[in-house]
Amino acid sequence: MQLLLRVTLFWVLWWQWALCVDIGESQVNQVPLVPTRGPVPPTSKPPPPPDAVSRKKINVSGFPVYVYGVDELAPPVNGTVPEVAIVIYMHGRNKSAKMEDSLVRLLYSNIRQHMVADPAGSAKDVLIVSFDALNHGARTTDPIQRQSLSKNPRFLVDMYALVLNNRDMVSFLIDYLPAFLFPRDERLITGWIACGRSMGGHSTWHVLATEPRVRTGVVLIGMPDYNALIRQRTAQANLKAEAPVVPRSFAQLVNMTDPPMLPYTSTNPSKNPFWGKHIFQANGGADPLVPFSLSASFLSRLVLGAQGRKAKDSLEIFVQPQVPHQVTTEMLDLAGRWIYRWEIAKKPVNLLPAPSLPTPTHARPPAKFLTTHSP
């Protein structure tokens, strides 16, 4: 009898694991993500918990979003309030807005700490907004369509649809969210930032490519080149990048809409959709799912402005050694600094003290990554 119970328990646990785990994510579904510190000496102390921040649910014409920081907005002084910058955060595949709540809270705390440290140098207040991607969280209709190629032969099509839908929802929120947040014109929103993790990071690149109102982007363990991802995933599955896995109609769509298909190397501001934008991208150096090599070719040639110090400062790359497909506290520290520097501060500043990092950040991909992937 005991043997039968043990066998039964084993099979129940195995099926729970099989139903929950997916190749595209490093954590189990329905488990909230908690950012961890990257590889550090065993004597290091864990990062402190983020400060508490309010979170409100708002339905924007029936589309639910979570807004962080409304209660923390600065009160009026002499009848005036600061302008507001809003970060729109997009979660990863097989997760949800609620499951990545801790990442959003830590990001908010990281931005806020610089505002508190230098109130006179801060020009704007900040909010963060998150939402469930199509077929995720409260919007789930078919979990199989979120699964990777081993379980869902149409995975590459499905995920690109999610990426582009995220892009469209960001523009929708920029259009309509102000009327729901401040219906009496209590405050003026003058800055929009796109930020995302994994699939949400892919979406961030598409937002930057198509939405002129978004000037700053933060990409966490994501990449801009979907054709590179198609080649990687089909090769891993021993499949050819052709129908039915990659139908011709879908390939044509990617070739029309993916960032590397746009004039991203142009020095003509009217043609290059990334001109004048400020982009931070962080990846794990040991990420087998979205390795930095998928981004290296694109980032090595990306043009963000005319030659000069400001253009060089407009792209920052952080590849953290020994880190798999996960967001670390170091990545979120740099993300908070980036958003404060370009969207909150009165003028771009190099924040002090400098962050303690296992490897420096870069303005261009290190040469070693350019030899491992060709466009």
Q: What angle do CA 133, 204, 178 make, to 5 degrees?
A: 70
* Buried residues in 286-309 as b, exposed as e (16+ CB within 10 A): ebebbbbbbbbbbbeebbbbeeee
Q: Please check the confidence at residue 374 and state whether its pLDDT lies above 60.
A: no
pLDDT (0 to 100) of residue 42? 39
Going from the N-terminus, what domains does the chain have, and what CATH number goes with each? 56-370 (3.40.50.1820)
pLDDT (0 to 100) of residue 121? 92
pLDDT (0 to 100) of residue 369? 81
pLDDT (0 to 100) of residue 14? 37
Contacts of 172 (CB under 8 A, 6+ apart): 60, 63
pLDDT in tens, 117-172: 999 999 999 999 999 999 999 999 999 999 999 999 999 999 999 999 999 999 99
Q: Please check the confidence at residue 37 and state whether its pLDDT lies above 90.
A: no
pLDDT (0 to 100) of residue 183? 97
pLDDT (0 to 100) of residue 20? 36
Reported pTM: 0.88
pLDDT in tens, 295-334: 999 999 999 998 866 677 999 999 999 999 999 999 999 9
Mean pLDDT of 24-48: 54
Going by C-alpha positions, the residue among 320, 303, 321 that lies closest to residue 312 is 303
Q: Which residues pair with 62 in a beta bridge?
A: none
Q: Are 343 and 191 in contact (CB under 8 A)?
A: yes
pLDDT (0 to 100) of residue 334? 96
pLDDT band, residue 52 (cuts 50/70/90): confident
Going by C-alpha positions, the residue among 125, 158, 298, 136 that lies closest to residue 222 is 298
pLDDT (0 to 100) of residue 65? 98
pLDDT in tens, 184-196: 999 999 999 999 9
Q: Are 85 and 125 in contact (CB under 8 A)?
A: yes
Going by C-alpha positions, the residue among 134, 124, 128, 123 that lies closest to residue 94 is 134
Residue 65's H or E segment, with its range, is strand 63-68
Counted residue by residue, the chain has a size of 375
Mean pLDDT of 14-19: 36
Q: Are 180 and 197 in contact (CB under 8 A)?
A: no
Going by C-alpha positions, the residue among 326, 327, 335 that lies closest to residue 279 is 335
Any idea of the CA torsion for 200, 202, 204, 208, to the nearest 10 degrees?
-170
Across the chain, what does the average pLDDT equal? 88
pLDDT (0 to 100) of residue 354? 76
Residue 86's H or E segment, with its range, is strand 83-90
Q: Are 311 and 275 in contact (CB under 8 A)?
A: no
